[in-house]
Amino acid sequence: GAVVSQHPSRVICKSGTSVKIECRSLDFQATTMFWYRQFPKQSLMLMATSNEGSKATYEQGVEKDKFLINHASLTLSTLTVTSAHPEDSSFYICSARPYSGANVLTFGAGSRLTVL
């Protein structure tokens, strides 16, 4: 089945530094990937849609200069949290459609970011 790999699973960083999270589709090509953010015991909030070879589309209220998304290939999308602050601490999850036209998503395992 379709597998999405996300790395790192956990990261701790100091305030002011930048952190990069990678999302890879292992056995399929993903022209579109989605980045979600989840706070403890809350729902998944769509942050942005990552499009291969073009700019990401951000949801309202998400700072594109804060959360840089790059989708350089059909199997890799990256999310960089720039100048991280403690309020950026969260669970970040990427997802992709396992095949063209699929109506459901395959999720990566998620990355828990803690900013000190």
Footprint on this chain of other proteins (rule: CB under 8 A) = 6, 32, 34, 36, 41-46, 49, 93, 97, 102-110, 112
Which of residues 2 and 82 has its CB atom nearest to other proteins in the complex? Answer: 2
Return the SS3 of 26: coil
Which of residues 82 and 91 has its CB atom nearest to other proteins in the complex? Answer: 91
Residue 5 tokens, joined? 């790999």
Place of tokens 């601490």: 89
Which of residues 90 and 106 has its CB atom nearest to other proteins in the complex? Answer: 106
Place of tokens 């970011």: 113
Closest distance between other proteins and the C-beta of residue 76, in Å? 18
Closest distance between other proteins and the C-beta of residue 19, in Å? 18
Closest distance between other proteins and the C-beta of residue 65, in Å? 22
Closest distance between other proteins and the C-beta of residue 115, in Å? 18
User: What is the distance between the alpha carbons of residues 40 and 43, in angstroms, rounded to a whole number?
Assistant: 8
Q: Cβ distance 54 to 81 under 8 Å?
A: no
